[in-house]
Every structure is written in structure tokens, then in C-alpha cells.
Amino acid sequence: MLRIILTVVIPLLLPTLVWIAYMALERRRLAAAGAAPQSWFAAAPWPWLAGGGFLLMLATLALVTSFGSGDPGEVYVPAHVGSDGRLVPGRTVPADKP
């Protein structure tokens, strides 16, 4: 669950959270100047925020898959039920040890 939050949810929401923080500061600045601040929700560039979040998520997933996998020459053994009936998690092993 933590991996999903770190690699998908946070990168998707990060541009929107930055936009909300920026608009909160801008709203405070406009209120101090005596101008009528507008809502952050109405002024948000939603297509840009969604696109930015999607690109950030893709970049995060690409980096995780590029640098978070096993060493070259290793073979992935998927999760399976062992001979004793217990679930053996997926792992990478050297190619000479299948």
C-alpha cells in the first residue's frame, strides 16, 4: 500500500497540492492589498494539473522500474505456493539458481 501511495498517488496529486499552496499565498497577498481574491478551484488549470500529475507519475514509475529491480543477469521467480503449503513471495535469484 505504501508503494502505491509513493509511486502513484503522491505524484498524481503533487501538482495540484503545489497549485493550492501557491493560490493560498496569492489569496493572502491579494487580501492584504485589498483586492478580491478568487477561488483556487475556479482558477485552477485542471488539464495542466492533471497532465503534469500524469507525467510525474509516469516518470516515477519509470525510475522505480529502472533502478528498483534486480541486478542484470538475475531471474525473477514469481510468488508461488511452496511444497509446505506456504506462500513464497516473488524475488530475484541468480540465473544459475532457478
Same domain, 62 and 45: yes
**Residue 98 pLDDT greater than 70, yes or no:** no
Same domain, 28 and 43: yes
Number of domains in the chain: 2
Asked if residue 23 lies in contact with residue 43, where contact means CB atoms within 8 angstroms, the answer is: yes
Same domain, 36 and 19: yes
pLDDT mean over 6-29 = 90
How far apart, in whole angstroms, are the C-alpha atoms of residue 98 and residue 38? 62
Residue 4, judged by CB atoms within 10 A of its CB (0-12, 13-18, 19+), counts as exposed
Residue 80: which domain range? 72-98
**Residue 87 pLDDT greater than 80, yes or no:** yes
C-alpha cell at 78: 514469481
How far apart, in whole angstroms, are the C-alpha atoms of residue 52 and residue 56? 6
Same domain, 83 and 36: no
* Predicted structure pTM score: 0.64
Give tens-digit pLDDT for 34-53.
888 777 788 789 999 999 99
Strand partners, 87: 81
Same domain, 46 and 87: no
Q: What is the DSSP letter of 5?
A: I
